[in-house]
Amino acid sequence: MSIRSYKRITPTIDSSVYVDDSSVLVGDIEIGEQSSIWPLVAARGDVNVIRIGQRTNVQDGSVLHVTRKSANQPEGFPLIIGDDVTVGHKCMLHGCTLGNRILVGMGAIIMDGAVVQDDVFIAAGALVPPNKVLESGFLYVGNPAIKKRPLKESEQAFLKQSALNYVKLGAEYLEEQA
Ligand SMILES: CC(C)(COP(=O)(O)OP(=O)(O)OC[C@H]1O[C@@H](n2cnc3c(N)ncnc32)[C@H](O)[C@@H]1OP(=O)(O)O)[C@@H](O)C(=O)NCCC(=O)NCCS
């Protein structure tokens, strides 16, 4: 079973979401309309919550996790992902907050407390350190991720287009399953 309860909380997943059978989703997770979860994604909403918005795709081999509440960090670090976000292959998203229309390049790592504002492009292989804020409208590159340049108009448009491509692909996969 790829969708599992933890402490009696089962992921809440809209019926329009495609979830590949090989992915594993555990515990307090919510996923909004037309999002998609691709092969070998591991998402564990056990010691805190994971929230994924609408039309967001999490691609193959990505890992999503959270940090528990503690004396130093009363809310811990939940993982919040907005709408129209593309999470590329083999990304690690840990206890961070992502806005809307973001592309997380393949293999990128985003750590606890980091905040990615709307309309950001994160290059493949970038590492976003704890608590860093990535500003809206920019490309971030490297380890540690630095602000490289403002997004071109074509890149800005691609953020939305990439999400829409995956809405279509997810719907096709759902149809195959029917
Ligand atoms: C960063 C990226 C957007 C290209 O940006 P760009 O400004 O067009 O980059 P260019 O190809 O003009 O290269 C500019 C420089 O950055 C380097 N570069 C390109 N991608 C890089 C990356 N991911 N990390 C570090 N450096 C990178 C290039 O080697 C080049 O270096 P040079 O000037 O020393 O030759 C692209 O390479 C990338 O990472 N895309 C992510 C794709 C992805 O993961 N999609 C999700 C999967 S579906």
Q: One-letter amino acid identity for 82?
A: G
Q: What is the pLDDT of residue 1?
A: 63
Q: Which residue has the tokens 């953020």?
A: 159
Does ligand 1 lie within 6 Å of residue 24's CB atom?
no
Rounded to the nearest angstrom, the distance between the alpha carbon of 159 and the centre of ligand 1 is 15
Which atom of ligand 1 approaches the CA of 107 most closely? 44
Which protein residue's CA is at the shortest distance from atom 5 of ligand 1? 123
pLDDT recorded at residue 7: 98
The verdict on the CB of residue 124 being under 6 Å from ligand 1 is: yes
Determine contact, residues 74/46, Cβ cutoff 8 Å.
no
Mention every residue, 6+ apart, whose C-beta is less than 8 A from residue 3. 10, 11, 13, 19, 25
Look up the domain containing 135 and give its range: 2-177
- The CATH number given to whatever domain includes residue 168 is 2.160.10.10
Q: How many CA atoms lie within 13 A of 24 on its CB side?
A: 9
Q: How many structural domains comprise the chain?
A: 1
Confidence (pLDDT) at 9: 98
Ligand 1 atom index nearest CA of 123: 39
**According to the model, what pLDDT value does residue 177 have?**
87
- CB 49 less than 6 A from any atom of ligand 1: no
Structure tokens at 54: 């609408």
Tell me the mean pLDDT per 10 residues along the chain, length 178.
94 98 98 98 98 98 98 97 98 99 98 98 98 98 98 98 98 93
Closest CA to 164 of 93, 84, 82, 54: 84
Residue 122 CA to ligand 1 center (angstroms) comes to 10
Residues 6 or more apart from 79 whose CB is under 8 A from it?
45, 48, 49, 50, 51, 64, 65, 66, 93, 94, 95, 96, 97
